[in-house]
Amino acid sequence: NFVFDSEESNEDWPNKYENTLHVFNPNAVFFSEGSKLSYIGQNCEEIPQELAELYGHRVLQLDLGHNLISDVGKLNTQFPSLQELILDSNCIGDSLNVPPLPRLTTLTLNKNQISDLESFLDKVAHRLPSLSYLSLLGNAACPNQLSSVDADEEDYQRYRYFVIYKLPKLKFLDFKPVSKGELEEALKRGVYTKVIRYWPNEEVDADSGSSPESASKLTPLPSQTRNNDHYAIFGQSKYVYYGRHSEGNRFIRNHDL
């Protein structure tokens, strides 16, 4: 049902764009239903300008899956009326520049390279105010079996709570509808489900939580209490508690946990 829609003949394209970094393939363009454009599996590293010149003013749904795209910063000028964007199996990472797309309701970024979930969601919340459908399956930021064999259902549910907390207007997340109960729970505890990032095989600064090259080794004690003058006192206490409930926990403060 897809048809190639162009005012120029296919024979004219190779000569017109032969000097471009990516050789634009007009035969791979599918434009249908008056508003949907697909350019899939062409190994392009950026969105071809030719697509925007020919179709940008009328495209509502854009599918650029299975390419090598890492930057979409010009989408708002290339496709100003965009409502649905599919970028599955590309090279989208944490440096993604999310352009303002006020009409975009659907965004799928399955099988990309997004690992910093909070940074990504902050960009999306600010630039995509109408977003109601989001899918991040296969990214490191989405802890399920597609991204990590160690992830379990609890890891994934915590991720869902945090995403919904940051984007409360979502109706679907990873092909699964957001229920009313899930939204209520996310608004209550979503702020506490943030996942702390760590750097495998690197030393971590215990005080700042960062990982600079000069970081000290992990230690159970804060730096201001670490010295060589350790001492301890032991002995037998003359006070013994025989009550039914232990009172030991009342001496533990939140900052000690």
Please give the pLDDT value at position 249: 57
Could you tell me where the beta strands, DSSP code E, fall in the chain? 30-32, 36-38, 61-63, 84-86, 106-108, 133-135, 172-173, 176-177
Mean residue pLDDT across the chain: 79
Model confidence at 240, pLDDT cuts 50, 70, 90, reads: low
Q: Is 94 helix (H, G, I), strand (E, B) or coil?
A: coil
Residue 76's identity, in one-letter code, is N
User: Sorting pLDDT into bands at 50, 70 and 90, what band is 157?
Assistant: very high
Per-residue pLDDT band for 147 (boundaries 50, 70, 90) equals: low
- What was the pLDDT predicted at 33? 73
Which has more pLDDT, 248 or 117?
Answer: 117
Other Cβ atoms closer than 10 A to 15: 8
pLDDT in tens, 27-60: 888 887 779 999 999 999 999 998 899 899 899 9
pLDDT tops 80 at residue 19: no
**CATH topology for the 10-193 domain:** 3.80.10
Q: How many residues does the chain have?
A: 257
> Alpha-carbon distance 66 to 20, whole Å?
20
More confident residue, 189 or 85: 85
pLDDT at 216: 47
pLDDT over threshold 80, residue 234: no
